[in-house]
């Protein structure tokens, strides 16, 4: 049935996880408008750009996830945690998944073209990089940081979509996203510790042990919070953003508290807390920027 195919496709790319990076991309989008148009915003320009940014984000992530599942299909079939995924179960064919992934990347290129020349020129590099991530666990434990860098393309790309250039300010936000993503991916990788060791796969938990991996993740998230504080000064935001930082810091603390209590809490720590972190950041960036414009 067509509806089942749609459901399996959304499961293939874990479409619901778009909530992790998209709010950061939209936050960067708002900050870019705040910097470029401090007094007056062209409404048509704003909505046209945001539409293509959202399409670009969704298509980039869908393409990357599709090829991640394709590249890891044999490994996923051997792993008890992942063998129920759509490709190992045969719910989607390999050909369909490849066509879907390529189509997603084609939409990304189209979106980049609609945004501006720099986005379009950088789109092949972005596609190569986010696809390359899926191979990294086979030769380096820095794979978590490659994933984080792939996530950082979201806010950096949204900034370029508005300004047509790269600024050190957005690199700071991109770095925060990179470390945030790497940190929670390290926690997530603890679930595959035994499998990674047995199959000679590279990850921070497999390299340094689970206890040290949790400490490394904690350190990365502490640095992330400091970078988010720096954003306050870079963009001259107000007390509303500071209030949001207290809430976000609380989510980080609770995430690591859950892991401290038991690694069995990894799903709640990974999915719930990180979703709250990204949405809270977007919410408080939005109210802070709007209040400054007002």
Domains in the chain, please, with CATH?
2-293 (1.10.357.140)
> How is residue 125 written in tokens?
């590099």
Comparing C-alpha atoms, which of 162, 137, 155 is closest to residue 147? 137
Query: pTM of the full predicted structure?
Result: 0.94
Comparing C-alpha atoms, which of 247, 205, 249, 241 is closest to residue 223? 249
CB count in 10 Å sphere of residue 176: 24
> How is residue 99 written in tokens?
């066509």
Comparing C-alpha atoms, which of 171, 142, 133 is closest to residue 155? 171
CB count in 10 Å sphere of residue 261: 10
Q: For every one of its 294 residues, what pLDDT tens digit does the chain have, with 9 covering 90 and above?
A: 656 667 767 666 666 666 788 999 999 999 998 888 766 667 778 899 999 999 999 999 999 999 999 999 999 999 998 888 888 888 888 999 999 999 999 999 999 999 999 999 999 999 999 999 999 999 999 999 999 999 999 999 999 999 999 999 999 999 999 999 999 999 999 999 999 999 999 999 999 999 999 999 999 999 999 999 999 999 999 999 999 999 999 999 999 999 988 888 888 777 889 989 999 999 999 999 888 765
């Amino acid at each position: 049935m067509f509806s089942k195919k749609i459901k399996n496709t959304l499961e293939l790319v874990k479409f619901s996880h778009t909530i992790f990076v998209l709010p950061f991309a939209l936050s960067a989008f708002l900050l870019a408008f705040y910097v470029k148009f401090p007094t007056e915003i062209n409404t048509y320009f704003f909505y046209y750009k945001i539409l293509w940014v959202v399409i670009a984000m969704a298509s980039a992530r869908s393409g990357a996830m599709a090829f991640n599942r394709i590249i890891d299909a044999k490994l996923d079939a051997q792993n008890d945690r992942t063998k129920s995924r759509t490709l190992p179960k045969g719910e989607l064919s390999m050909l369909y998944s490849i066509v879907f992934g390529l189509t997603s990347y084609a939409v990304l290129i189209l979106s980049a073209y609609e945004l501006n020349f720099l986005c379009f020129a950088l789109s092949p590099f972005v596609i190569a990089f986010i696809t390359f991530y899926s191979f990294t666990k086979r030769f380096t434990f820095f794979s978590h940081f490659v994933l984080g860098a792939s996530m950082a393309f979201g806010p950096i790309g949204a900034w370029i979509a508005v300004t047509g250039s790269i600024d050190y300010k957005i690199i700071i936000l991109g770095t925060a996203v990179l470390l945030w993503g790497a940190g929670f991916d390290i926690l997530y990788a603890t679930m595959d510790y035994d499998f990674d060791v047995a199959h000679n796969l590279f990850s921070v938990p497999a390299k340094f042990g689970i206890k040290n991996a949790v400490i490394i993740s904690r350190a990365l998230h502490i640095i992330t919070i400091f970078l988010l504080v720096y954003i306050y000064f870079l963009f001259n935001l107000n007390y509303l953003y500071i209030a949001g930082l207290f809430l976000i810091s609380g989510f980080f603390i609770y995430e690591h508290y859950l892991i401290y209590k038991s690694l069995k809490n990894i799903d709640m720590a990974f999915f719930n807390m990180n979703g709250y972190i990204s949405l809270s950041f977007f919410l408080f960036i939005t109210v802070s920027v709007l209040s400054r414009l007002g």
